[in-house]
Amino acid sequence: MFDAVIFDADGVLLDSEVIYHAIERAVLAEIGLDYSPIEYRQQFMGLHQTTYVAALEADSRSRLGRPLPADFLTRLRAETRIACDARLTPVEGAHEAVSAVRLPRAVASSSETEALERKLTRTGLAPLFGRHIYSADLVAAGKPHPDIYLHAAAALEVAPRRCLAIEDSLNGVRSALAAGMTVWGFVGGGHLDASAAAGLSEGGATRVVHSWAEAKDLLAAIG
- Report, as residue numbers or ranges, the catalytic residues: 8, 10
Q: Which of 132, 210, 143, 215 is nearest to 181 (CA)?
A: 143
In this structure, the chain runs to a length of 223
Between CA 58 and CA 64, with CA 60 as vertex, the angle to 5 degrees is 135
| Alpha-helical regions (H) of the chain | 17-30, 37-44, 49-64, 72-87, 94-99, 113-122, 147-156, 170-178, 195-203, 212-221
Strand arrangement of the beta sheet that strand 133-135 belongs to: 133-135, 105-109, 4-7, 163-167, 182-186, 207-209
